[in-house]
Amino acid sequence: MDKKIALFSIMLLSATLSNAQYVLKEADKQASLYNYTAAIPLYKKAFSKKVTVRAIRGVADSYQLLNEYAEAETWYRKLVVLPEHTANDELHYAKVLINNAKYTDAKEALDGYLGKQPNDPLAISMKQGCDSAMKWNAKPVKGDLENLKAMNTQWADWGTGFRNGRFVFASDRPYDSLRHDKLFNNSNISRKKYGFTGRSYLHLYESDGFDSSSTRLLSRNVNGDYHSAKATYTADGNTMYYAVTNLVKKKGRFAEQLYTLNVELKASKWNNTNGNWETDSFQYNEIFDYSVGDPFISADGRTLYFVADYGTRGLGGTDIYYCTRGTDGKWETPVNMGPSINTAGSERTPFMDSTGVFYFATDGRPGIGGLDIFSAKQQEGKWFPVNMGAPVNSAQDDFSPAYNTGKTLYFSSNRPGGYGNDDIYRFTPWKILVFSLEGKAFDKVTKAPLNNATVTLANKATGKVLTAETDDAGNYRFVLDSLSDYGLNATRVTYNPAENAVVTTNGLTESQVLHQDVWLQKIEIKQVAAPEKKPLIIAKANVTGHKIDLGNRFNPANVYFDLGKSTVRPDAAKELNKLIALMKENPSWKLAMGFHTDSRSDDNYNMKLSQRRAASVLQYFISQGIAKERMTATGYGETRLINRCANGVHCSEQEHQANRRTEFEVFDR
């Protein structure tokens, strides 16, 4: 973005330039008039005659002001090796290195500058930005970035406003104009070309944003002879504010004396009768003293934000201010937005969205380069700005943020790869959808919540299965993928499973928590008639007496055997040792052990397997010093099923597991 275009300053000089001046003096004069395109060849010519800091700096500064960063870097590199260079030259060199995304080199240049000016807040911020920029560029915000080709040209196009469904923006493209210079024009300021850029002045255009043929110049009473830019409208489209420059003669001055005209704001009301804008000036303009630009009017027309350069009254180069409209319809005294927004640098192009989030551009905070766009939310009267990162921000100037509706951000940038000096872009971040599933497991009859139920969630596309156990209140939770279908199942010991509930995130466009409860029905436990068998009693003892509650001192559920085997495993022995120790401490205790299988496999095989396991455990207790007379160990096979899962009945694994149990009962005599 052309920094002087940013405040549209234009210089007035009516005397004809003397042919007797030296080339360098002529170059300085063109630069003082912001005619940098004319100044550069003159500085180069002076440099070719004699190498001087003045000539090199003139070329470097001119290129930098014209945003020709690669050329500026070359000339600043020549400058900073000369002993006569200044600390400020090093700072400018660091700036263009950042604009060229050479952050490591820029930090080195900034270290040299900070060695001479250690407390410069802008330099400190720039150095912090070099580190941040590399992080932001390495992890950009995901979304769709688009150059708005229908509005952009090889010239500068920037500053998006919205009125009645159309885009309004500024451009310095050539235009068919009736603005011919007067026959006797006593100023050397051309109405056709801006000396700073060598292109046309900025004028306001409107477009549908999709078809370049829809673009047209706004009316003559909006676009004057010089700059018109940065239009902003109230929600009804009937009030507009925009920034202009006008050619005004300063009272008491002769025509040949040099003076500066600054940017001012214009307020316009739409006249439905004649179908045109009726324009008036903003009451706080003062074009001979300071610039006021970059307006943004709130939707209700009650608050006007703008940028002004009040010199020592501000915090930096340009600050953001706001005015509120009083009950008399006049704007109250401008208020500086304060240090939570404004910095020692330049703040630009304010915008407030419908939710109260404030957007602006600045070069005074750590950023990727040049002007960066920030968003800010207010908390307890203070704003907290956040850099919007890449790809919204680049190593060059990114500015003029604006939202119309929805999540799409419109902004302007002079980054490489565009059509012209400044282009209009839009960025739509990808919507990150977050889904989760929550629910409870309940007893279908009693409606009581069930803990320790196993809930499984299977992704039907990938086959991935997630498992969760319900807590004491019966709750479970899963994180879900977007665009996915799931099957939900739940099981619990002694309950029939709840199967094939369908959960889907397909078609959901907003993040949300889905809810699905599961209902399990308790299995009616019946004693299943089995063929009459005479269980083998491995050991027999009198176990009558008071039954002992072992509490959590011993857990029979942890006594397992390998499939089809009866040997006591080490992990089972570890648990059995707890009971053995208790029996040694309590010599009056007696123990009854029962070993059971499920109904699968042959009945006779199951009976023999359970009896072998009974014998194996009994022998283990005896080996550890427990008298055989204190114990009974009985293998029951599948004769004492606790549920419906008899031979030929289809049951779940959980139901079969309920039958594969080892029971221990301890009695005190």
Q: What CATH number should be reported for the domain holding residue 473?
A: 2.60.40.1120
Q: In the numeric block, which tokens belong to residue 237?
A: 């489209």
Domain end marker among 498, 522, 546: 522
Domain end marker among 115, 143, 171: 143
Q: Is the dihedral of CA 504, 510, 511, 513 positive or negative?
A: negative
Same domain flag for 465 and 581: no
Residue linked to tokens 């006049």: 330
> Could you tell me if 451 and 436 are in contact, meaning their C-beta atoms sit under 8 angstroms apart?
no
Cα of first residue to Cα of last residue in the chain, in angstroms, is 97
Regarding pTM above 0.75, the answer is no
The full 3-state SS of 500-511, as one line of letters, equals EEEEECCCCCCC
The pair phi, psi for residue 382, each rounded to 5°, is -125, 140
Check residue 331 and report its DSSP letter: B
Q: In the numeric block, which tokens belong to residue 489?
A: 């199942």
Q: Total structural domains in the chain?
A: 3
pLDDT reported for residue 50 = 87
Q: Within a domain: residue 312?
A: no
Q: In the numeric block, which tokens belong to residue 226?
A: 């010089």
Question: What does the alpha-carbon distance between residue 209 and residue 175 come to, in Å, rounded to a whole number?
Answer: 19
Burial class from Cβ neighbours inside 10 Å (0-12, 13-18, 19+) for residue 454 reads middle
Question: What does the alpha-carbon distance between residue 564 and residue 613 come to, in Å, rounded to a whole number?
Answer: 10
Q: Within a domain: residue 206?
A: no
By C-alpha distance, which of 620, 642, 641, 640 is closest to 631?
620
Same domain flag for 466 and 568: no
Same domain flag for 498 and 554: no
Question: What does the alpha-carbon distance between residue 19 and residue 36 come to, in Å, rounded to a whole number?
Answer: 19
For the chain, the farthest-separated pair of C-alpha atoms sits apart, in whole angstroms, at: 132
Question: What does the alpha-carbon distance between residue 10 and residue 201 come to, in Å, rounded to a whole number?
Answer: 11
Question: What does the alpha-carbon distance between residue 172 and residue 8 come to, in Å, rounded to a whole number?
Answer: 12
Q: Within a domain: residue 511?
A: yes
Same domain flag for 542 and 518: no
> Could you tell me if 658 and 640 are in contact, meaning their C-beta atoms sit under 8 angstroms apart?
no
Q: Within a domain: residue 208?
A: no
Q: Is 160 helix (H, G, I), strand (E, B) or coil?
A: strand
By C-alpha distance, which of 147, 148, 146, 141 is closest to 430?
141
Q: Which amino acid is at 258?
A: L
Burial code (b: 16+ CB inside 10 Å, e: under 16) for 571-599 equals ebeebbeebbebbeeeeebbbbbbbbbbb
Domain end marker among 124, 143, 162: 143
Q: Which amino acid is at 606?
A: N
Same domain flag for 518 and 541: no
Q: What share of the chain is helix, strand, coil (3-state, %, to 5)?
A: 20, 30, 45
Q: What CATH number should be reported for the domain holding residue 53?
A: 1.25.40.10
pLDDT reported for residue 450 = 95
Burial class from Cβ neighbours inside 10 Å (0-12, 13-18, 19+) for residue 328 reads exposed
Same domain flag for 63 and 138: yes
By C-alpha distance, which of 73, 70, 69, 4 is closest to 36?
4
By C-alpha distance, which of 243, 247, 265 is closest to 11?
247
Q: Within a domain: residue 514?
A: yes
Q: Count CA within 13 A, CB hemisphere, residue 310.
A: 15
Same domain flag for 551 and 662: yes
Q: What CATH number should be reported for the domain holding residue 620?
A: 3.30.1330.60
The phi-psi region of residue 579 (left if phi > 0; otherwise alpha if psi is between -120 and 50; otherwise beta) is: alpha
Q: Is 456 helix (H, G, I), strand (E, B) or coil?
A: strand
Same domain flag for 504 and 542: no
β-pair partners for 437: 478, 514
Query: Interior CA angle at 103 toward 347 and 120, to 5°?
Result: 50
pLDDT reported for residue 6 = 41
Same domain flag for 497 and 585: no
Q: Within a domain: residue 241?
A: no
pLDDT reported for residue 5 = 40
pLDDT reported for residue 155 = 94
pLDDT under 70: residue ranges of the chain: 1-21, 176-192, 249-261, 524-544, 552, 562-564, 669
Burial class from Cβ neighbours inside 10 Å (0-12, 13-18, 19+) for residue 429 reads middle
What is the CB neighbour count within 10 angstroms for residue 192? 13
Burial class from Cβ neighbours inside 10 Å (0-12, 13-18, 19+) for residue 466 reads middle
Same domain flag for 640 and 594: yes
Residue linked to tokens 């100023």: 187
Q: What is the dihedral of CA 242, 248, 251, 254, to 10 degrees?
A: 150
Question: What does the alpha-carbon distance between residue 232 and residue 639 come to, in Å, rounded to a whole number?
Answer: 87
Same domain flag for 582 and 653: yes
> Could you tell me if 598 and 660 are in contact, meaning their C-beta atoms sit under 8 angstroms apart?
yes
Q: Within a domain: residue 589?
A: yes
**Residue 545 lies in domain:** 537-668
Q: Within a domain: residue 619?
A: yes
By C-alpha distance, which of 329, 325, 364 is closest to 346?
364
By C-alpha distance, which of 442, 321, 397 is closest to 158?
397
Question: What does the alpha-carbon distance between residue 121 and residue 362 come to, in Å, rounded to a whole number?
Answer: 14
Same domain flag for 45 and 75: yes
By C-alpha distance, which of 622, 610, 509 is closest to 565?
610
What is the CB neighbour count within 10 angstroms for residue 512? 13
Check residue 598 and report its DSSP letter: -
In DSSP notation, 625-660 reads T--GGGEEEEEEETTT-SSS--TT----HHHHHHHS
